[in-house]
Amino acid sequence: MSNQCTKIDMGGQGESRIQQRTPPRTYPILADEVENPNDVVTSTFPVCSKTTHILFDTGATRSFVSLSFVRYLSVPSQDLDICLAVETPSGNTLIADKVHRSCELMLCDRNMLVELVPLAILNFDLTLGMDWLSANHASVDGFKKEVRFAILDQPEFGF
């Protein structure tokens, strides 16, 4: 997977789309738990000035940070209003009760913010889920292994 950023030429404004709500379940996954590798994209980008292995997962409702990567976050954790019971594809349930708000992610020379829930995940430092993807007008093309962004009032870009 290349992390080379490109400006996407859409040849016009594009169509207005209605966003659908995602189900209230969350599936942070391990590399060997990916049922369909065409549903996800992985890449490496700096987060808090550290090279980070990231999973872009349209099957995850929330965004997560591995417990081993939490020490690099410069933003202290806060209590979640409601604890999360997080199901994994292997059938395990993990409980999350903290969140790191406004963590900096440098993506394609753009400083973007992400809200990260610490969770015992392996193989990836971050899992960026639908909360972050939809907030940043991102679309994931698992077959092409691309993520495209159409943020309002900014040129479209992707990698």
CA dist., res. 84 & res. 95, Å (int)? 6
Please report whether residue 85 resides in a domain: yes
Please report whether residue 11 resides in a domain: no
How much is the mean pLDDT over the chain? 80
For residue 83, what are the domain limits? 43-158
Query: pLDDT grade, residue 90 (50/70/90)?
Result: confident
Please report whether residue 20 resides in a domain: no
Sequence letter at residue 51: T
CATH of the domain at 79: 2.40.70.10
Cα dist from 32 to 45, 52, 146, whole Å: 21, 19, 20
Q: In the predicted model, what is the mean pLDDT of residues 81-95?
A: 86
Token reading at 25? 């379940």
Query: pLDDT grade, residue 27 (50/70/90)?
Result: very low
Please report whether residue 7 resides in a domain: no
CA dist., res. 146 & res. 142, Å (int)? 7
Please report whether residue 27 resides in a domain: no
Please report whether residue 89 resides in a domain: yes
Q: What pLDDT, in 10s, does the model give residues 43-56?
A: 998 887 788 999 99
How confident is the model at residue 91, as a pLDDT?
82
Please report whether residue 21 resides in a domain: no
How confident is the model at residue 14, as a pLDDT?
41
Please report whether residue 145 resides in a domain: yes
CB 54 within 8 A of CB 45: yes
Residues 6 or more apart whose CB falls under 8 angstroms from that of 153 comprise: none
Counting the structural domains of the chain, the total is: 1
Residue 148 has pLDDT above 60, yes or no: yes
